[in-house]
Amino acid sequence: MKKYLTDGYKPEALFRYFEEISAIPRGSKNEAKISDYLEKFAGERGLFCHRDKLHNVLIKAPASAGYENQPAVLLQGHTDMVCEKNSGTRHNFLTDPLELYIEGDWLRARGTTLGADNGVAVALMLALLDGEVEHPALECLFTVQEEIGLIGAGGFDYSLISAKCMINLDSEGEGQAVAGCAGGCRTDITLPYEPVPAAGETVVLKLGGLAGGHSGMDIGRGRANAIKLMGRLLLALRREVDYNIISIDGGLAENAIPRECEATLAVGDALAVEKAAARFAAEISAELSREDAGFSLSCSRRELPEYMMSAADTKTVAAMLASFSNGVIEMSRDIPGLVEYSRNLGIVRTHADKVCFAVSTRSSLEARIDASCDYLSAFAGLCDAGAEHHSRYPGWKFDAVSPLRDKYIEVCRQVLGREPQILTIHAGLECGIIKAAVPDMDIISIGPIIKNIHTPDEALNLPSYERLWQIVTGILRK
146 in catalytic set: yes
Give me the catalytic one of 19, 31, 139, 146. 146
Coil vs helix vs strand at 228: helix
Give backbone dihedrals phi and psi of 251, rounded to 5 degrees, phi first: 75, 160
DSSP helix, strand, coil percent of the chain (3-state; round to 5): 30, 30, 40
Closest C-alpha to 375, from 423, 343, 418: 343
* HEC-encoded secondary structure of 166-180: EEECCCCCCCEEEEE
80 in catalytic set: yes
Identity of the amino acid at 2:
K
Identity of the amino acid at 350:
T
Determine the Cα–Cα distance for residues 203 and 297; give it in Å rounded to an integer. Answer: 13
Burial class of residue 412 in the structure, from the number of CB atoms within 10 Å of its CB (0-12 exposed, 13-18 middle, 19+ buried):
buried
Tell me if 140 sits within 8 A of 38, measured CB to CB: no
Could you give the angle at the alpha carbon of 298 between the alpha carbons of 216 and 207, nearest 5°? 10
Identity of the amino acid at 55:
H
Determine the Cα–Cα distance for residues 425 and 179; give it in Å rounded to an integer. Answer: 8
Give me the catalytic one of 80, 147, 313, 442. 80
Residues with Cβ within 8 Å of 421's Cβ and at least 6 positions away in sequence, in order, are 175, 176, 177
Residues with Cβ within 8 Å of 133's Cβ and at least 6 positions away in sequence, in order, are 473, 476, 477
Determine the Cα–Cα distance for residues 54 and 143; give it in Å rounded to an integer. Answer: 9
Residues with Cβ within 8 Å of 40's Cβ and at least 6 positions away in sequence, in order, are none
Q: Cis peptide before 336, with omega less than 30 degrees from 0?
A: no
Identity of the amino acid at 101:
Y
Tell me if 300 sits within 8 A of 274, measured CB to CB: no
Cα dihedral 137, 141, 142, 143 in deg (nearest 10): 180
Would you list the DSSP string of 339-377?
A: EEEEEEEEEEEE-SSEEEEEEEEEESSHHHHHHHHHHHH
Pairing of strands 421-425, 176-181: parallel
Determine the Cα–Cα distance for residues 40 and 411; give it in Å rounded to an integer. Answer: 33
Q: Could you list the active site residues?
A: 80, 146
